[in-house]
Structure 1
């Protein structure tokens, strides 16, 4: 996954990260201030990465939906037709929410709330009075809604490909239910979701992963396995995973796929088809990759394909969290760093966390949303804790923390990079800066 940003010296920097089931790592960055971010330029950068890693080890490239990225996608399709290029799900879902917010029935309320918030947070006496009457509870808070839980899923580092398609379907049903099944109320919202998600969140990779996730397939074998669009998507994926070998493709589609659909051979094991157990477990406690590793032995090729695509992310937002590492290294006192030195320092700092990574779950279950109406939290903590915040009055609680509560979009968790003090250029009448060396 790749994205671009601008540092303190207004240099344009493009970074490239790699995601796998074990986590995300920073690969490289480069300054491109003197180059236009055209499709050719992005393609050349991504293609070089694919060559370095090995095309056989790369399943997909994830970027946002900008036109230059889509142009790079077309070029990669010609050079590497067996590598998927998928749109960032977090960016796409933000577009969905933005489109919903622009509807007249919501826009007036949202604009009024923004104006009121800007006024209150722009006057310290007014803000102090508000906090007095609200017991220091802020009026700007991220709300835990059933739909925004889907955004939370795709915006994390956990492999989200197994859940995106199914959770988006559930969110649509939740919207219908919340609006009492009145078509005139829910149809405009679903139309926006369908329009923004078309070709972005419903490609053959998303649909195939939905089919190969036993959490969903076990609940609706006939409905999922018999759908035309599902089987069409699976055939395209099989062709891309096993290119040029029509015999192997036929064995997977006509043989191994049928074994899975009918739950035969190793899939008939005691726990493999235990629907009650799958239904009893919450989605985030179920491991589809582990399931395929345990029970997919009678369909070796399909097992290999399933494990690889069930381990994928759906978002490039990890690149944005990587910017926090850049910001920590490239501070006001270290802004003479060359881009080469900056790349090396970020490489060490960001990737070192893989050695100490703790596997924690940062997703709230839908059933728990009533317990966390005040905040979006890692676990259900004491939501009445004291608030420490640095609040953007327009976008909300981007920098808000409550006790052990994390931000809605977290920065890197490492402590700020502290450099050894060096000689200061006292002749600089502007701010003092550390020299690169």
Structure 2
């Protein structure tokens, strides 16, 4: 934190978003008690872990295995056809004869694979189960997409998990009942781990949220946590009491809103709303504006950090030779061309990575010349720096 303060200025860092490892949670406590920072886990990471838990369930595993077999078969057909064409010749050489023998063995294996895929394709129960599995995963995937975005407030993380906990497809399932109920158990387990004070306070202070949308005793606890947060942020005893009082006034105001008025108030982002209402809530608005700067995922935090051109370590922006070659191989494979031998000048790489454009918004790109095995054809390829 001291190094970051030296880069961006003292007291400019207001929150920390990390993954959800146990050692990180202990680090949060130290930072919150000694630096007055707001700490939170990556909500998107929790949903990724939830998907991993769900993928281990028997019904999901069976459908996924069948889908992988079908996908692998169809994705590999072009390579098989290209391999067969490469062994054709008017006059068979010794090398071609060996290739022919390998082809026959491969054809036998291919026939067995085809039979398995053919059975899956013709199995109506497989496709029905596949559609049901997609329906079970869809709510989680949509929430993951939301929480990984840059314009998502931390209050939405609370809403997302609360919405998953109340999904009829898990609470009152009509198909794959045991699997759906098992998913609900996993959602509850992950919710207990991602459920933080900062997230509850954000939901409490978000004018777009339903006041009755809290889970359990979170509403009462959130108001108490506002007092604790004010103390942790170094506010005076008078300011702490005032923040608690303003929280009660704001809460009662929200409860009096009609649905139409709530829709009108929700047109403004929480940060904008609290900026406009700073005169009505002079202390609480300071806490709210700090809370709503917290991203919902570590990916969004890193993108925000990079957008302001802050680099903690120069080595993190340098791509090594192995990774460069891997990227070129992947991009070249998409063009469905034979992979060329890649030649590049490391000096060009260093220049491209370290160069910065003042007014030019175009992305830096690295150009490489690639030659085929005979050195006859030249290709020019671009890789993002």
Query: Same fold by TM-score, threshold 0.5 exceeded?
Result: yes
Q: Which residue of structure 2 aligns with residue 312 of structure 1?
A: 294
**CA 1:344 to 1:246, structure 2 compared with 1: closer, same or farther past 3 Å?**
farther
> Given the alignment, which residue of 275, 286, 293 partners 1:293?
275
Cα deviation, residue 98, structure 1 = 0.9
Q: Which residue of structure 1 aligns with residue 37 of structure 2?
A: 83
TM-score by length of 1: 0.54
Q: Does 1:115 align with 2:69?
A: yes
**CA 1:124 to 1:295, structure 2 compared with 1: closer, same or farther past 3 Å?**
same
The answer as to whether partners of 2:246 and 2:281 remain within 8 angstroms in 1 is yes
Cα deviation, residue 170, structure 1 = 1.3
**CA 1:149 to 1:68, structure 2 compared with 1: closer, same or farther past 3 Å?**
same
The answer as to whether partners of 2:202 and 2:291 remain within 8 angstroms in 1 is yes
Where in structure 2 are the equivalents of 1:364-403 lying within 5 Å? Answer: none
> Given the alignment, which residue of 163, 168, 177 partners 1:170?
163
The answer as to whether partners of 2:171 and 2:181 remain within 8 angstroms in 1 is no
CA deviation string 1:315-344 (max 9, x = no partner):
1114379699766999563645798x7874
Report the Cα distance in structure 2 between the residues aligned to 1:214 and 1:225, rounded to whole angstroms. Answer: 19
Tell me the C-alpha RMSD between the 2 structures.
4.6
Q: Which residue of structure 2 aligns with residue 63 of structure 1?
A: 18
Q: Does 1:197 align with 2:191?
A: yes
Q: Does 1:206 align with 2:188?
A: no
Report the Cα distance in structure 2 between the residues aligned to 1:102 and 1:211, rounded to whole angstroms. Answer: 35
Cα deviation, residue 188, structure 1 = 2.1
The answer as to whether partners of 1:62 and 1:86 remain within 8 angstroms in 2 is yes
The answer as to whether partners of 1:64 and 1:88 remain within 8 angstroms in 2 is yes
**CA 1:184 to 1:297, structure 2 compared with 1: closer, same or farther past 3 Å?**
farther
Q: Secondary structure at the match of 1:299?
A: coil
**CA 1:54 to 1:120, structure 2 compared with 1: closer, same or farther past 3 Å?**
same
Cα deviation, residue 47, structure 1 = 3.9
Cα deviation, residue 352, structure 1 = 7.3
Higher relative contact order (CA 8 A, sep 6+): 1
CA deviation string 1:299-324 (max 9, x = no partner):
11111211221232111114379699
Larger Cα-atom Rg: 2
The answer as to whether partners of 2:33 and 2:232 remain within 8 angstroms in 1 is no
CA deviation string 1:143-201 (max 9, x = no partner):
993332211111111143131101221122224367259985544212212222333x2
Report the Cα distance in structure 2 between the residues aligned to 1:187 and 1:293, rounded to whole angstroms. Answer: 43
Q: Does 1:262 align with 2:246?
A: no
Where in structure 2 are the equivalents of 1:125-204 lying within 5 Å? Answer: 145-174=138-167, 175-176=169-170, 179-180=173-174, 186-199=180-193, 201-204=194-197
**CA 1:222 to 1:71, structure 2 compared with 1: closer, same or farther past 3 Å?**
closer
CA deviation string 1:100-149 (max 9, x = no partner):
1111221221122223222321222789999xx9xxxxx9xx99933322
Structure 2 stretches of 5 or more lacking a match? Answer: 83-113, 122-129, 307-314, 326-343, 370-385
> Given the alignment, which residue of 229, 237, 254 partners 2:229?
237
Cα deviation, residue 261, structure 1 = 1.7
The answer as to whether partners of 1:63 and 1:88 remain within 8 angstroms in 2 is yes
Q: Secondary structure at the match of 2:288?
A: helix
Report the Cα distance in structure 2 between the residues aligned to 1:221 and 1:168, rounded to whole angstroms. Answer: 11
Aligned residues: 292
> Given the alignment, which residue of 216, 233, 238 partners 1:247?
238
Report the Cα distance in structure 2 between the residues aligned to 1:188 and 1:307, rounded to whole angstroms. Answer: 38
The answer as to whether partners of 1:121 and 1:127 remain within 8 angstroms in 2 is no
